[in-house]
């Protein structure tokens, strides 16, 4: 936004008086306030923007060519390559995974009051029960008994409401509960923003202005009753790497609950409920737990029942567990109704979904709210990843590109380096360091990376095939048409 202002200012006739306004929603109130508080263009923010774009251009232009020559991949990028790295590492974990066989044991027990309890074996742990003989030995021991209650507790636990939406959490919830891709979520959110229904939807802030919070708290009392409105308002901590240039994503008018129909209404209702729930009372759950001992073996079971719904009265997405472990006392002997032993295998780690990859990007400090969805689209367009049943599968080409980037030790695929670079860009915006200083330091490191990548690329391209026209060896290279052979003397 600051850069657009600077660009417009630069092409206006010399001497034109200009002011910059900043707003987070397209409403009369927000625009009027913005005009009242108009300021000059912030040159430090413009410098941070320019540094970001130059960094992306340097990486894209300078590093894509060796990547293409070595692997056939179309491009490398400061944000896309860091994202591809953690996706590629998960893909290799899955491919290299060796399953472990174990036996899970579950017992059905009957209390003194004739109430049934289902309790899995917890000691020894599942993976330690690694043979059929051992599993049978445990089942036989349970049949002989006695099975006694060794621990029992019931305790009330309170849970704080979720914070209002940031771009990342909005994309994650839309994926989980609406089945949408991050791209679709941002498209629908853009429509809501343009209709003046929500605040700006590209944000990493959980902050809500005080007057809106007061309005929300008043509406909670009216709609749900005084017990659903806590005595003090909730505050949510700033996330690591957050710039907080805008408020959290929220409705511009809390009195509007259903502005329309279709997809836009589905997303709006989710945003509305998230904001209102964020200022409601804690939900209270009765957590119950029991442990049962039979010789050296331990079984256990847990339960949870909501005793006061609190913020869950409004935020009704997702199911709540509703099971309480029956009352019993330590020392009680339980009857064994039945027991089972099932042969199972450990499963590989699950692939990232689009939503969980956005969460990981945010956690690692890769990119910004405005780039999360676009980064995944870029990886798909480059054929580095493909979405199969909502899971991100890294292709052979994607793995090949990751392997080359890591082997060449490019600085921008070092996830710690990437997060630190985001901090450096924020420091430029805060006038703590100059743009040229950050760019120069980065380019000195990158030049060495590129030289190393070229050496590795040349080594990898060598073959044992002889050229038909001279004594040279053929090199394997890549073009937009695919792989081809070229003489080393060409």
Q: Judge whether 401 and 379 are in contact, CB under 8 Å.
A: no
Q: Judge whether 193 and 278 are in contact, CB under 8 Å.
A: no
Q: How far is CA 337 from the centre of its chain?
A: 44
- Residues β-bridged to residue 343: 103
Q: Which residue's structure tokens are 């600051």?
A: 2
Question: What are the structure tokens assigned to 191, written together?
Answer: 């429509």
Q: Which residue's structure tokens are 């309170």?
A: 158
- Which candidate, 459, 422, 465, 469, places its Cα nearest to that of 442? 422
23, 49, 102, 200: which is the annotated catalytic residue? 200
268 catalytic? Reply is no
* Residues 67-71: contacts with CB under 8 Å, at least 24 apart: 67/401, 67/404, 67/405, 67/453, 68/478, 69/457, 69/461, 69/477, 69/478, 70/404, 70/453, 70/456, 70/457, 70/460, 70/461, 70/478, 71/397, 71/400, 71/401, 71/404, 71/478
Q: How far is CA 171 from the centre of its chain?
A: 9
- Which candidate, 154, 150, 153, places its Cα nearest to that of 334? 150
DSSP state for residue 424 in the 8-state scheme: H
Three-state DSSP at 260 gives: coil
- Which candidate, 241, 169, 244, 242, places its Cα nearest to that of 415? 241
Dist. CA 446–CA 417, nearest whole Å: 12
Beta-strand (E) ranges in 226-353? 283-294, 297-308, 333-345
| Positions marked catalytic | 200
């Amino acid at each position: 936004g600051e850069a657009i202002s600077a660009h417009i200012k630069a092409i206006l006739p010399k001497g034109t008086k200009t002011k910059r306004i900043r707003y987070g929603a397209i409403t009369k109130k927000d625009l009027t306030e913005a005009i009242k508080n108009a300021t000059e263009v912030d040159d430090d923010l413009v410098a941070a923007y320019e540094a970001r774009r130059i960094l992306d251009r340097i990486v894209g232009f300078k590093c894509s060519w060796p990547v293409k020559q070595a692997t056939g991949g179309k491009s490398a990028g400061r944000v896309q390559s860091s994202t591809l790295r953690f996706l590629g590492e998960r893909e290799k974990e899955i491919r290299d995974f060796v399953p472990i066989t174990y036996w899970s044991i579950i017992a059905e027990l009957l209390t003194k009051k004739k109430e049934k309890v289902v309790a899995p074996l917890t000691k020894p742990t599942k993976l330690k029960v690694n043979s059929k003989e051992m599993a049978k030995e445990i089942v036989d021991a349970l049949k002989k008994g006695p099975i006694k209650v060794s621990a029992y507790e019931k305790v009330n636990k309170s849970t704080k409401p979720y914070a209002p939406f940031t771009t990342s959490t909005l994309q994650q919830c839309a994926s989980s509960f609406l089945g949408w891709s991050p791209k679709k979520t941002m498209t629908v959110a853009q429509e809501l923003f343009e209709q003046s229904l929500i605040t700006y939807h590209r944000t990493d802030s959980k902050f809500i202005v005080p007057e809106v919070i007061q309005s929300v708290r008043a509406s909670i009392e009216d709609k749900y009753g005084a017990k659903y409105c806590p005595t003090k308002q909730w505050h949510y901590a700033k996330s690591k790497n957050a710039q907080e240039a805008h408020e959290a994503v929220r409705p511009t008018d809390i009195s509007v609950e259903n502005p329309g129909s279709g997809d836009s209404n589905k997303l709006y209702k989710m945003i509305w409920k998230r904001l209102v729930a964020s200022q409601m009372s804690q939900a209270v759950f009765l957590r119950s737990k029991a442990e049962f001992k039979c010789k050296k073996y331990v079984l256990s079971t847990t339960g949870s029942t909501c005793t006061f719904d609190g913020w869950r009265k409004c935020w009704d997405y997702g199911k709540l567990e509703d099971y309480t472990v029956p009352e019993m006392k330590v020392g009680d002997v339980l009857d064994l109704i039945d027991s089972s032993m099932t042969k199972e295998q450990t499963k590989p780690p699950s692939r990232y979904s689009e939503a969980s990859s956005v969460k990981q990007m945010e956690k690692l400090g890769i990119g910004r709210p405005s780039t999360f969805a676009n980064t995944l689209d870029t990886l798909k367009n480059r054929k580095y990843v493909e979405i199969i049943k909502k899971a991100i599968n890294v292709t052979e080409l994607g793995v090949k590109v990751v392997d080359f980037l890591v082997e060449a030790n490019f600085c921008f695929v070092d996830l710690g380096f990437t997060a630190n670079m985001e901090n450096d860009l924020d420091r430029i915006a805060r006038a703590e360091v100059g743009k040229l200083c950050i760019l120069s330091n980065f380019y000195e490191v990158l030049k060495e990376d590129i030289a190393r990548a070229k050496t590795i690329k040349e080594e990898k391209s060598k073959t044992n095939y002889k050229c038909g026209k001279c004594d040279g060896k053929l090199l394997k290279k890549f073009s937009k048409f695919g792989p081809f052979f070229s003489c080393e003397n060409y």
